[in-house]
Amino acid sequence: MTERILIKNLSALEDGPVRVAGWVETVRDQKKVQFIVLRDETGSVQLVNPATRELNDEDADSATKLEITEAISGLAQGSFVSIEGDLKHDERVKLGGIEIKIRSLTIASEAIPETPIASDSSSDKRMDWRFLDLRRPEQNLVFRIQTTFEHALRTYWIEHDFIEVHTPKLMASPSESRAELFELEYFDTKAYLAQSPQFFKQMAQSAGFGAIFEIAPAFRADPSFTSRHATEFTSVDAEISWVDSHEDVMKLHEELLVAGFTAVKEKHGAAIKELFDIDLEVPTVPFPRIPLAEAKQIVADRGYEIPRADADMDPEGERQIAAYVKETYGHDFVFLTDYASSIRPFYHMRHADNPELTNSYDLIYNGVEISTGAQREHRIDILIEQAKDKGMEPEELDFYLDFFRYGVPTHGGFGMGLARVLMLMLHQQSIREVTYLFRSPTRLMP
C-alpha cells in the first residue's frame, strides 16, 4: 500500500499520486461531481470525484467508479476513510490551494449519521461526547500547544540540571491537611489521593537531589463548580535547594514560563491567531511583584473591598489587581508576595523580622491565580512549632519531619495548574475546554 501522507505535508509535494486518511468533515454530493472535505490530525483537504451514476458495461472502470460514487453518497460525517488519488495544486481551491482527485476509497469505519453534538451544544453535552468534541481544530491545537509547552518546560529543567521525579499518588497520610482529601480503602487500612507532591518534593531536598521537577496528576475533594476548579488536575511542580528567599523561586518560575511561552509562540503563534484570534505575547522579565497588603490597598483604591480583611485575594480582587498591573506595567503576570502566615501552610517560612508574614507568593495571570510558591521552613524546631500553631499534631507528621532531622538545605518551590495556564493563554472560559477529560464533583465519565 502507498505510504500515507499527512495533510499538512501535501502542499510541499509535487502533483502526483498520494494516499491520505482521516475522517469526513463534509460531503457535497452534486449531480456531476462530489466533494469531500477530509480531516486528519494535522489539517483538512478537499477531495473531488467526478460522479459516475450509471454503469457502462463496455467500460472496465465503470463499475469501480460507480462503487466510489455510491460510497461517497452514503458517507456520514465522522466516518474514517483512506483515499488514494492524484494531488493537484490549484490556486482556485479555497482550502489550501490543493485538491485530490479520488481513484480509490476504503472505508475503515462508518459513523452513525445522526451526530449527537453540534457547534452550539452546551458544554455539558460536549463533555458527554468529548471524543467527538476533540475533533474540532481548536481542540486539536489546544493539546498540541500543551505538548509544546510541557516539552519546553522539561527542556529548560534538563538544561539547568534538574532531576525529574515521579512521586506517589497513594499516601498513608494527608500531604497538607485533611481538608479536600479523597479517602479510599487500601487493603486493611485507609489511603489518600495526593493533593500535591509537596512533602515528597521536600524529601528530594533532604536526599541531596537539589533541583527537581514533576508534571503529574493531583486530586482535591473540592466541591467547587467554578471555571477554574477540578477534582483531578495536572500539577506542574518544581523545588530547588539553597535558596536565599522566595525571590529565587520567583526568578525560576518566570524564566520557566518565558521558555514555555516562547516555544508555543514560535511553533503555534500563527495557528493561535487563526483559530483563537489571539496574538500570543511572550512575557518580559522580571514580572511585577507586589506585596499582598499593598495589592489589597490598590484594589480598595479602585473601589473594590475584599470581603474579609484577613483573607486571601478573592476572584474579583485578582481581576482588579491584574487590571491595575496591565494598565501600569503592560504586563499579564504579577507576583503577589508576602502572604500572612495565618492563611499559608505551616511549612512556609516566615519573615525573620515579622512572623506574621511568609516568604511566599501567588502568581496571577490574566486575572486568575495559577500558582503558589514559597521558601520552605527547613529548621525542624521552628517547623514543629508552626505545625502546632496550625492545630496539627507533630506525631501525625513524623514521616515528614524525619526529612528535617537528618539535615536539609534551605529550599523552596512552587506548584502550578497546567490547565489554568492553557485556559488563560487561549482566553477560554473554563478549564473544561483545555482538559482532555474533565473531572468534577458530578463528572466521572467518559
Annotated binding site for L-aspartate: 176, 220, 372, 376
Length of the chain: 446
Binding residues, as ranges, are 176, 220, 369, 372, 376, 417-420
Binding residues for ATP, as ranges, are 369, 417-420
Question: Hey, what's the cell of 383?
Answer: 517547623
213 touches 157 (CB < 8 A): yes
Tell me, what DSSP letter sits at residue 243?
-
| Helix (H), strand (E) counts: the chain | 11, 16
Coil, helix or strand at residue 326 = helix
388 touches 335 (CB < 8 A): no
202 touches 214 (CB < 8 A): no
102 touches 85 (CB < 8 A): yes
Question: Hey, what's the cell of 394?
Answer: 507533630
Phi and psi at 61, nearest 5°, equal -90, -10
- In order, the DSSP letters of 174-220 are -SS-STT--EEEETTEEEEE-S-SHHHHHHHHHTT--SEEEEEEEE-
> What's the N-to-C CA distance of the chain in angstroms?
35
